[in-house]
Amino acid sequence: MKKINILLISDQSLPNLLFIKEWKADAYIFITTEAMEKKQKSVHLIKGARLAESNVHKIVVDGDDTSLILQALSQEFEAYTENIYFQINLTGGTKMMSLATYAFFSSNENCEFWYKPATQDLWTSVNKAFDDRNIKYQCTLWEYLTIYGLEMVEKGEPIWNSQKAWQVYHEFKKVGFDKHNYSHIKDAHTKGSAENRSYYGGGWFEDLMYYVMQEELSLGDDYLAYNVKLHKVGKESDADYDNEFDIMFMNNNRLFVIEGKATLPFKNPDKVAEAALYKLAALKSYFGLFASTCLVSLGQFSNKKNIERRSRLLGLKEPLDNTKIGNKGHMIKKLMEFAGIKIKTENNINVNTLHS
């Protein structure tokens, strides 16, 4: 029996990508709207899922009118006379699209309906015909960015190794994270090579966060990237927004973005911190609902409560400064919590690193 996946297209493309990867099919039908097609949501999903365009058929409907959706489906599926099994993902689309699609196919015995709850990593059978299914597929960074219309045009590599980055961290910690008392950072602009100037000018801290994520989460290159430059597909120029990010990684089908600041200015540090928060907030809409962003710094906010409040209002995760990541163990713990790894007690961290 031929299997066809039916997907409802919306701004949030991740559930559809996961459905494509977990339910194998011979062909695909996208139920979409003119608004979604204008945003090229189907195009991005086809590319990110690596589907052949010839294997995808699109039905464009009025997403807010149930009767018109039912009419469009009736006209479309009159021609389907062969024996077909439909696997239907009701997670996307508008509410009216979901209701109409379920109503149209519910009398067909050769159908199964699935839905992904936003806060759970599983598929739920809509009519309880099947047991819940845990999501096994892990979306790569390229796949996630692609389905949301983003291209990774550049990415870098850490300058030196993990041991060197931790060495700088510990030396910096000994002087209370005061760059004026640490010559390597204070005089970074005088270092002989461009590589050294970049490293002590802040690159070492980006390296450090990269290695923490790589080592603690066992992330390979498909799931972790360093110094990423993005392009929004369809935009003629990227000049109107800051499109460079220090660390991007995937964990459990969620995107995480870190903006790192090794230091903050002694005078008015919150001005620099707030600029970083606004940058993350401005681009958060591009990343979809399954993304988390965070500012991490070894400087210190002068008005911590205000920075934390502003971050919450902007929909960002808890910003971290040296009062929260002032030793190796606590830094790892906080970064893991940001990545969705719940650490209830200090016993979950290597005792040799907790207070180092």
Interval 290-302 mean pLDDT: 95
Q: Kindly state the tokens that stand for 24.
A: 């194998």
Strand, coil or helix: 29: strand
The tally of CA atoms less than 13 A away on the side-chain side of residue 335 is 30
Q: Is the pLDDT of residue 211 over 60?
A: yes
* Structure token digits, residue 272: 């620099």
Mean pLDDT of 82-109: 94
Strand 122-125, strand 111-115: pairing: antiparallel
The answer, yes or no, to whether residue 305 has pLDDT greater than 60, is: yes
CA distance to 43, 112, 210, per residue, from 146 (Å): 10, 28, 22
Q: How confident is the model at residue 242 (pLDDT cuts 50, 70, 90)?
A: low
Please report the DSSP string for 266-310 in residue order.
SSSHHHHHHHHHHHHHHHHGGG-TTEEEEEEESS--SSHHHHHHH
The neighbouring-strand residues paired with 251 are: 254
pLDDT digits 0-9 by tens, 190-201: 877 888 889 999
Classified as helix, coil or strand, 16 is: helix
DSSP 3-state percent helix, strand, coil across the chain (nearest 5): 40, 20, 35
Q: Is it the case that residue 350 has pLDDT exceeding 70?
A: no
What is the reported pLDDT for 343?
65
For residue 356, is pLDDT > 50?
Answer: no
Residues in the chain: 356
- Structural domains in the chain plus CATH codes: 2-137 (3.40.50.10770), 144-354 (3.40.1350.10)
Write down the H helix ranges in the chain.
14-22, 34-38, 41-48, 66-77, 95-105, 141-147, 162-174, 183-186, 194-198, 204-217, 269-284, 304-313, 328-338, 351-354
pLDDT of residue 306: 96
Beta bridge partners of 122: 134
Q: How many CB atoms lie within 10 A of CB 32?
A: 23
Of the ranges 79-83, 321-325, 335-339, which one carries the lowest mean pLDDT score? 79-83
**Average pLDDT over every residue of 157-180:** 94
Closest to 96 measured CA to CA, from 63, 58, 61, 59: 63
The pLDDT of 286-306, averaged and rounded, is 93
Instruction: Indicate if the pLDDT at residue 263 is higher than 80.
Output: yes
Alpha helix (H) residue ranges in 137-203: 141-147, 162-174, 183-186, 194-198
Using DSSP, state whether 248 is helix, strand or coil: strand
Positive/negative CA dihedral, 173, 174, 176, 180: negative
DSSP 130-142: S--EE------HH
Which tens digits make up the pLDDT trace of 12-36? 999 999 999 999 999 999 999 999 9
Which is more confident, 112 or 129? 112
Closest by CA position to 148, among listed 24, 272, 279, 288 = 288
**Phi, psi at residue 230, to the nearest 5°?**
-110, 155
Query: Residue 353: pLDDT above 50?
Result: no
pLDDT of residue 354: 37
* Rg of the chain on CA atoms, in Å: 24
